[in-house]
Amino acid sequence: MAKLNIIIAPDPVLKTKARKVEKVDDRIRKLMDDMLETMYAAPGVGLAAPQVGVLERVIVLDVAGKDEEPRPMRLVNPEIVWASEDLAVAQEGCLSIPEQWADVTRPAAVKVRYLDENGTQREVEADGLLAVCLQHEIDHLDGVLFVDHLSPLKRNMIMRKLAKWKKSQAA
């Protein structure tokens, strides 16, 4: 396994729609292992392939609590096939937008269809943190960041703070 570099916003790669994976092979399995290692090291609860510069529809996540056994999830070509009318507000952050958080409103529950690491089609129904995380990561595959769900005013504020943070890291 290898740790990958996480792309920080703003970056055109993060705004680009990722392409479908044609075949779940060793290359994709290695990518998902590397993404999980990168996510755990960050640390974070989810990571999408575009965040490591790979424009393919692959996400990994693990929403297990600190005192729980890890529950890594690997999803290829994930697709939201149902979303609840009920909405929920949750605070979100992103490894591509470090040190920034904001409340985002999304459907409270979703059903996601995907291919697992063996290429088998599966479905997962989720609410709570997993639902938030799945929607956030699938957004990344369409070039959408959590700040894109905010008002322009709020988004600009976060992007300005991020630019400042980037400068302070470079100094």
Looking at 18-26, 92-100, 114-122, 156-164, which segment touches Ni ion (CB under 5 A)? Answer: 92-100
d(CA 7, CA 24): 24
Q: Among 26-34, 62-70, 88-96, 99-107, which window interacts with Ni ion (CB under 5 A)?
A: 88-96
52 neighbors 39 (Cβ within 8 angstroms): no
- Mark the segment that binds Ni ion (CB under 5 A) among 18-26, 55-63, 86-94, 112-120: 86-94
137 classed as catalytic: yes
The pair phi, psi for residue 11, each rounded to 5°, is -155, 135
Residue 10 corresponds to which amino acid?
P
Task: List the structure tokens of 131.
Answer: 């639902």
Which of 37, 68, 79, 137 is catalytic? The answer is: 137
Walk across the sheet containing 109-115 and list its strands. 46-48, 58-61, 73-83, 109-115, 121-127
**Complex with Ni ion: residue 77 or 92, whichever CB lies closer:** 92
94 sits near Ni ion (criterion: CB under 5 A) = yes
Q: Tell me whether residue 24 or residue 94 sits nearer to Ni ion (CB atom).
A: 94
- Kindly list the catalytic residues: 137
Interface contacts to Ni ion, rule CB under 5 A: 94
